[in-house]
Amino acid sequence: MTDQKRVFKTKTFNRWAKKLLGDDVLCRAAREIEQGLFEADLGGGICKKRVAIAGMGKSGGTRTLVAKQHAAAIFFLLGREKSSPGTDFSDSAVEAVKLIGANLQIQPMSKLDEMKFKGSLKEICNAEKNQ
């Protein structure tokens, strides 16, 4: 299916997710987001998506904040384990993610490719790979 969006994670998200979530799991989550399957719409193209950790399921897994409004890309921006202290993402974290997401969602693909080349974004799947 060639109309699927390319999926990226930020360098910060990648560092956090490295030991918790494989790219295949994130790609599946991104495809669910494309189908409108996510837990909350936070406005500005940002949504909250539960992503399961292997062997734990979604209810005991992670929570992610994802920018979904770009015409051709989805961005994983922030994550937390459900078991981490606190009940959810802080208001200041959500506001910061909204600013980062707003900036990413207006970039042309050439700029995203440049960011990927420089290492600030990592592409984890697109229509050709890791569906």
Confirm whether 51 is domain-assigned.
yes
CA–CA separation, 104 vs 69, rounded Å?
Answer: 10
29 contact partners, CB below 8 Å, separation of at least 6: 49, 51, 64, 66
> With bands split at pLDDT 50, 70 and 90, how would you rate the model's confidence at 73?
very high
Domain extent for 80: 6-125
Mean of pLDDT values over 3-13: 93
Q: What is the pLDDT of residue 56?
A: 66
Reported as a single tens digit per residue, the pLDDT across 36-53 is 999 999 999 999 999 988
The single-letter code of the amino acid at 90 is S
Reported as a single tens digit per residue, the pLDDT across 93-117 is 999 999 999 999 999 999 999 999 9
Number of independent structural domains in the chain: 1
Confirm whether 131 is domain-assigned.
no
Q: In the chain, which residue ranges form alpha helices assigned H by DSSP?
A: 11-17, 23-34, 91-105, 109-118
Confirm whether 1 is domain-assigned.
no
Asked if the model's pLDDT at residue 90 lies above 60, the reply is: yes
Asked if the model's pLDDT at residue 131 lies above 70, the reply is: no
Mean of pLDDT values over 67-79: 96
CA–CA separation, 98 vs 75, rounded Å?
Answer: 12
